[in-house]
Chain A
Amino acid sequence: MKKTIAGGAGSAAGFEVALPHPRTSQPAPALTRFLENEGLLAAVLLAPTVLLLSLFIAYPFVMGVWLSLSSTSVGNPGEFVGLRNFVKAWNDSIFRTAFGNTFFYTFWATVFKLVLGMWLALLLNRHFRGKRLVRASMLLPFIVPTVLSTFAWRWMFDPTFSVLNWLLYQGGLITTKLPFLSDGTYGLWCAIVVNTWRGMPFFAITLLAGLQTISPDLHEAASLDGANGWHRFWHVTWPLLKPVTLVVVVFSVIQTFSDFQLIYVLTGGGPANATHLLATYAYQIGVATGLLGEGAAISLFMLPVLFIVVWVQLRYLRRLEGA
């Protein structure tokens, strides 16, 4: 022990003792020397993070896997039942619906967010008066608590007092009210609309940051060569923007795929369990009904998709670092 301290001390620590500044309160010399060792300092610096993350991520993860293989419910420790929970979920028609909904919801919401977010980013990339204010207000849906803004949407979709129905009716587009949240298919599309509304600013602002790194000279050159707006986007902007886009899409897919609060507030999974996602159904079984084992199994069905997405992301990051 003593040897490592002496070895790691180096001349800097020796110097310190000789400094004529007794006023500045230094840590005890032993500790100082201890922290001069790069490895030990790293261990000390990383300890709180590793501790918290293993306690509240790694441990719950292991525990979740165990729960999913057991018949645990609230107040009942349960026993090992193998894959029975997974089989049971798979044979459950509500689960099947939730499973399908999750993919449907993620796919369409991501497509809309990407297309509209890209469009908005291109608009915001121009110079105009009040640009900062416009950009700042565009981000509002993203920073306001999702639950609270979803309530505003729920009120806008209200079966009796919907302002959207009013607008469509006054505009002569409909003659009877649209059943926004009282029909499963409509309900899921409404959720996709709200998710798009909320997530689009994130796409727009990150893509805008990407756009700003593209030199205007490239566009200038392309337009001198006779490229029109669409060609300039497709052959100049898009290839350069692809890396940022991939990362943003990955983040968004993870968040949308595991979404809970939006559906919980907007439809609560209803009507007749038609709009559940994996997370809301896991909540209904695991927390509302108290079947912890089955609930844990349902949420673990998210894992393969998340795993693939994370793997793509990591591979991509490696390639970036390698380049």
Chain B
Amino acid sequence: MVIEKRWKTWVFFYIPLTVFMVGTLFPFYWMLITAVRPDAELYRSWRAATNTPFWTLQPTLEHFRDLMAKTTFPRWLWNTFFIAVASTLISLFCGLLAGYALARLRFPLAGTLGTSIFVTYLVPPTLLFIPLADIIRNFQLGNTPWALILTYPTFLIPFCTWLLMGYFKTIPKELEECARIDGATRFGAMTRIIFPIAVPGILSAGIFAFTLSWNEFIYALVFLSSPERKTVPVGVVSELIRGDIYFWGQLMAGALLGSIPVALVYSFFVEYYVTGLTGSVKG
């Protein structure tokens, strides 16, 4: 270790890190404090002498109650969850098979296919949403969860394939060869030997894919129209603002509740998530 003087550690380490922490977390704190602040306190002049901006003396759950009882928020939560799980499962299935094929099998066009899957990984949804909306309409999928369950995999599969391909390459080939000598078929060796070993990789890909689909916005905004079909991000944006009026207490309560599921999944699987995140760029 390189030894440093104490004041240097403070100036170059503790102070910057604290600033980073405060900057990163302050918006979440603000979300929370707004969500539990009574309306009377929310809309008070910013120069009022009685202003206590960073805490509240009368915390209330009224905004949460209104959100759960008077809006379709619970429904959006369920929609988002269902869509995220379904599209993650589809993407994992496809990505697992494709990743294995690209990592292990020799066949013509292997290189071209690998490259084109990687290129689709880099195609942003905002490039395609207009024609895709038309296609969704033609397939009679408009305003159904299937519109999202089938289109989310377009950005999830390339990612899963890429990540799992990298993972399969780290598994020694000898394992499969042994299984084959013992009489396993190619398919059997894949499903019974390789896939079980790849479970950590699958988990990383799955967690990451789940958070990506939970956060997706533009497809959900364009493909869904009825309020009770919407996902949390779209519902909060389009239904909680009535006319031009922002009910900030309720909006922040919604933002908080909409973030909690994905934050929970994340906090349980931080290490897998980080593997997915760093793997997503390294391949």
> Are A303 and B20 interface neighbours, CB within 8 A?
no
A197 located at the interface, meaning its Cβ lies under 8 Å from any Cβ of chain B in the complex = yes
Chain B residues near A60 (CB, 8 Å)?
128, 131-132, 135
> Are A36 and B185 interface neighbours, CB within 8 A?
yes
> Are B187 and A57 interface neighbours, CB within 8 A?
no
Chain A residues near B252 (CB, 8 Å)?
151-152, 155
Instruction: List B residues 10-67 near A (Cβ within 8 Å).
Output: 12-13, 16-17, 20-21, 23-25, 27-28, 30-31, 34, 42-44, 46-47, 51, 53
A178 located at the interface, meaning its Cβ lies under 8 Å from any Cβ of chain B in the complex = no
- Residue interface mask B218-238, A partner, CB < 8 A = 1: 100110000000001110110
Question: How far is B59's CA from A318's CA once the two chains are assembled, in angstroms?
Answer: 58
> Are A299 and B127 interface neighbours, CB within 8 A?
yes
Give the interface segment out of A92-100, A103-111, A184-192, A202-210. Answer: A202-210
> Are B27 and A149 interface neighbours, CB within 8 A?
yes
Question: How far is B23's CA from A300's CA once the two chains are assembled, in angstroms?
Answer: 36
Chain B residues near A286 (CB, 8 Å)?
130
Chain A residues near B110 (CB, 8 Å)?
42
B123 located at the interface, meaning its Cβ lies under 8 Å from any Cβ of chain A in the complex = yes
Chain B residues near A81 (CB, 8 Å)?
none
Chain A residues near B233 (CB, 8 Å)?
145-148, 261
Question: How far is B117's CA from A36's CA once the two chains are assembled, in angstroms?
Answer: 25
Which of A19, A36, A49, A310 is B161 in contact with, Cβ under 8 Å? A49
Q: Which residue of B lies closest to A148 (CB)?
A: B255
Question: How far is B24's CA from A162's CA once the two chains are assembled, in angstroms?
Answer: 18
Chain A residues near B274 (CB, 8 Å)?
139, 205, 209
Q: How distant is B201 from chain A, measured CB to nearest CB, in Å?
A: 16
Chain B residues near A247 (CB, 8 Å)?
281-282
Question: How far is B3's CA from A220's CA once the two chains are assembled, in angstroms?
Answer: 10
B178 located at the interface, meaning its Cβ lies under 8 Å from any Cβ of chain A in the complex = no
A38 located at the interface, meaning its Cβ lies under 8 Å from any Cβ of chain B in the complex = yes
- Residue interface mask A63-75, B partner, CB < 8 A = 1: 1101100000000
Interface majority SS on B: helix, strand, loop or mixed? helix
Instruction: List B residues 186-239 near A (Cβ within 8 Å).
Output: 186-187, 211, 214-215, 217-218, 221-222, 232-234, 236-237
A side interface size, CB within 8 A:
108
Question: How far is B222's CA from A277's CA once the two chains are assembled, in angstroms?
Answer: 17
> Are B278 and A197 interface neighbours, CB within 8 A?
no
Which of B20, B95, B125, B185 is A32 in contact with, Cβ under 8 Å? B185
Interface majority SS on A: helix, strand, loop or mixed? helix
- Residue interface mask A245-270, B partner, CB < 8 A = 1: 00110010011011111001100000
Chain A residues near B283 (CB, 8 Å)?
317
Question: How far is B111's CA from A314's CA once the two chains are assembled, in angstroms?
Answer: 12
Question: How far is B128's CA from A272's CA once the two chains are assembled, in angstroms?
Answer: 26
Question: How far is B234's CA from A219's CA once the two chains are assembled, in angstroms?
Answer: 49
A41 located at the interface, meaning its Cβ lies under 8 Å from any Cβ of chain B in the complex = yes
Chain B residues near A220 (CB, 8 Å)?
2
The answer to whether residues A140 and B24 also contact, given A42-B107, A314-B115 and a CB cut-off of 8 A, is yes
Chain A residues near B158 (CB, 8 Å)?
53
- Between B93, B108, B236, the greatest number of chain A beta carbons within 10 A of the residue's beta carbon is seen for B236
A-B contact count (CB 8 A): 294
Which of B127, B128, B150 is A52 in contact with, Cβ under 8 Å? B150
> Are A206 and B277 interface neighbours, CB within 8 A?
yes
A118 located at the interface, meaning its Cβ lies under 8 Å from any Cβ of chain B in the complex = no
Q: Which residue of A lies closest to B179 (CB)?
A: A12
Chain B residues near A46 (CB, 8 Å)?
97-98, 101-102, 113
A287 located at the interface, meaning its Cβ lies under 8 Å from any Cβ of chain B in the complex = yes
Chain A residues near B1 (CB, 8 Å)?
216
Chain A residues near B236 (CB, 8 Å)?
147-148, 151
Which of B13, B101, B120, B154 is A41 in contact with, Cβ under 8 Å? B101
Q: How distant is A31 from chain B, measured CB to nearest CB, in Å?
A: 9
Instruction: List B residues 104-156 near A (Cβ within 8 Å).
Output: 105-108, 110, 113, 115, 117-120, 122-135, 150-151, 153-154
Chain A residues near B135 (CB, 8 Å)?
56, 59-60, 63
A172 located at the interface, meaning its Cβ lies under 8 Å from any Cβ of chain B in the complex = no
Instruction: List A residues 276-317 near B (Cβ within 8 Å).
Output: 278-279, 282-283, 286-287, 292, 295-296, 299-300, 302-303, 306, 309-310, 313-314, 317
Given contacts A139-B270, A144-B262, 19 further A-B contacts (CB under 8 A): A12-B184, A26-B185, A48-B97, A49-B161, A56-B153, A57-B120, A57-B154, A138-B24, A151-B236, A155-B248, A169-B46, A209-B278, A229-B12, A247-B281, A255-B124, A260-B218, A261-B218, A306-B127, A310-B122
